[in-house]
Structures are given as C-alpha cells and as structure tokens.
Amino acid sequence: MSENGTIQAHRAQAYRDFTFVIDADLDISSAFGNRAILNQIDRNTPERALEDIDRAIELTADRPRSSYFERRAAIRLSLAERDKDEAMVYAALDDLKAAKSINPTRNVTAQLENWASEFLKSLHREKGYAVKKG
C-alpha cells in the first residue's frame, strides 16, 4: 500500500471512529469537529461538514473554541464559492468575528478574512459593481 493509501485508510478509520462516538450519543464536540474536517476535505460533503461543525459549536457554547468558528467559516466560504452565495460569505465573516473575539491572535482567522474579502470582490466584479482596490 502506498503512503497515500495508508493515509486514506487511517482517515477512513478515523471517520468510522468519530461516527461511532457520535452515534453513541456521547456529545463529544471534538468528534463532531473532526468529522466535519473529514466531511469537508476527504468526502467533499460540505453540507454534512456544516451540520457537524454546527453541533460542535452548540456543544461548546459554554466554552467556545475559535477553531470551530474558523472551521465553520472555511466550510461556509467553500459553499459560497461553489454556489456564488454572497449571504454565505457574510455568515462566514460573522463566524470569523466570533473567532476573533475568542482568540484575537490566530493567523488562520486573518487568512480566512482575506479569502472572504477577495471572494466578495470577485463576486461584485462579476455583478458589474465598482470594486475598490486594496
């Protein structure tokens, strides 16, 4: 088995493990958060990823995690790009605002904000709106 095949096998097992924990109604936020990553990246099912990360955020309402809000923003931005959905970009920006309020020093938040900004500019250009440089 190649190295890539081994990695895929480990990811498939991780997905099964996270699903087992979730199906057992253990309400462990990290199981939902990590399965969201696998749904987004490995399985290309962003809608399922969004469901999982929403649940992870619900489960940590009393102790929010900036990484979960960043993850949800990234999922929303990928959906926004796929569907050319401006409202989804603004929802992602709301998530990034929440992430910043929890941990203002994370570089990931700034990178995602840049992605959102650039995507909004391209959407607006496509619609024929005047877009400021910078």
Q: Which of 41, 63, 85 is the last residue of a domain?
A: 63
Q: Which of 114, 74, 107 is nearest to 91 (CA)?
A: 74
Return the ∠ at Cα 59 (arms to 10 and 116), rounded to 5°. 75
Same domain assignment for residues 58 and 71: no
At 97-120, the pLDDT tens digits run 999 999 999 999 999 999 999 999
Same domain assignment for residues 1 and 53: yes
Total Cβ atoms within 10 A of residue 52: 28
Q: Which of 18, 42, 63 is the last residue of a domain?
A: 63
Q: How far apart are CA 71 and CA 59, in angstroms?
A: 15
> Torsions phi, psi of 2, nearest 5?
-75, 165
Can you read off the two tokens belonging to residue 87?
């409202």
At 27-54, the pLDDT tens digits run 999 999 999 999 999 999 999 999 999 9
pTM of the model: 0.90
Q: How many domains does the chain have?
A: 2
Same domain assignment for residues 22 and 42: yes
Same domain assignment for residues 58 and 105: no
